[in-house]
Amino acid sequence: MSHDYDLFVIGAGSGGVRAARLSSSYGARVAIAEDTYLGGTCVNVGCVPKKLFVYGSHFSEDFDDARAYGWDVSAEPVDWPRLRDNKTREIERLNGIYRNLLVSAGVDILWGRAKLLDAHRVQVGDDVYRAEHVLIATGSWPHVPNVPGRELAITSNEAFYLDEFPERVVVVGGGYIAVEFAGIFAGLGAKTTLVYRGPMFLRGFDDEIRHFVAAELDKKHIERRFSTQVTNIERAERGLVLQLDDGTTLAADQVLYATGRDPNTAALGLEAAGVLTSERGGIVVDHYYRSSVPSIYAIGDVIDRAQLTPVAIAEGMCIANNLFTDRPKHTLDYALVPTAVFCQPSIGTVGLTEAEARGRFEDDVDVYGADFKPLKHTLTGRDERTLMKLVVRRSDDRVVGAHMVGPEAGEIIQGIAVAMTAGATKEQFDRTIGIHPTAAEEFVTMRQPRRE
């Protein structure tokens, strides 16, 4: 059978682009199809613009804190169009970089929605291409519940391009995206309310971290309405009105739903090609990302494992290695995937939560921790605190979890993740000399367990 390509990639997000570029560098003939934008969610309506908005939203506190350090700074309300448009220019620059990376690697870029016709044929527009291997890397898409008036709400996709900055915002959801956007809107000056159906947000994170962040958000003047659901959204004389299941109402100029993301598998022709999916619509793959059809693979958010850009990139590298080199097959170890939540203050975490460790190792667990006011705020007087904790398996002294809430938590946890991947023990943490004065040194000065 002759093929137009050795690898046909559907989706030019971070994972698909990495797989395409590497595969081409190994000598494969590669095409990549995209119907929205190069770089996927992360570059366009996710990690990158969100982090830029987090930076922007923190200046209100920075201006206040400057007075304690001898700087008299006055600030006008945020110039939203300037922030928005500066962000957009940066995203457009990154789009160009992604295009140049693909072109310079010899990858053919095809614009349009790709659809599987069978195990080896893909249709894009009126054209049909044959490929020995097909990789689906179409990511995920925001999920909005079927609530009356849902068409009046926005998702994170639209939040980056608002015409006007809202005075009153309701963020619905309890995951990391909801918490991050609540901090962004509040920091930029909006009266912000976070509505979540559960009793505590950030499900899946360490419980102590979750409660600590909830207390810190209260200090940021973000109203929390937990164990509450929106039952209806209506237009009002000014803005919108949300009906809640406790009988109360909320007025808002903008409602943002951040209630999860679904695998982006609609209209891909999966059923016609015989590709199996899970109940949530994620593509079912084996240890090496092969679907139920041997020639079709999938990586990233579309397989509904860890919805993180670096994970998709690592999976894409595995695909290129496994299909087009003679090296041993690679797969990803998901046990120690570090992550950060860019709420304010931010979260960094890697490894097991305390509850997970106790569930797995029972009484063979020690927990170390530190809770303190950062040095910076000893002058500012700001009531913001930092929390750090290590979870240790007592029998072999192995550090199995590290968690932090505080400024630059992600930057600090990245280094801790390297140590944990190398199998570091608590004794090795203790023998490491701290850098003083830093917050990070607390991770190597925790001497006594807080509790068994």
- Supply the residues annotated as catalytic: 436
Q: What is the residue type of 339?
A: T
8 with 133: CB under 8 angstroms? yes
95 with 43: CB under 8 angstroms? yes
167 with 270: CB under 8 angstroms? no
The torsion angles phi and psi of 143, rounded to 5 degrees, stand at -100, 130
Picking from 328, 315, 273, the residue whose alpha carbon sits closest to that of residue 296 is 273
| Alpha carbon separation from 197 to 47, 203, 210, 224, 257 (Å, rounded) | 25, 12, 15, 11, 12
Using DSSP's 3-state secondary structure scheme, residue 39 falls into strand
Task: Note if the bond before 310 is cis, omega within 30 degrees.
Answer: no
Instruction: Report how far Cα 139 is from the mean position of its chain's Cα atoms.
Output: 12
User: The tokens of 322 are what?
Assistant: 């496994």
302 with 277: CB under 8 angstroms? no
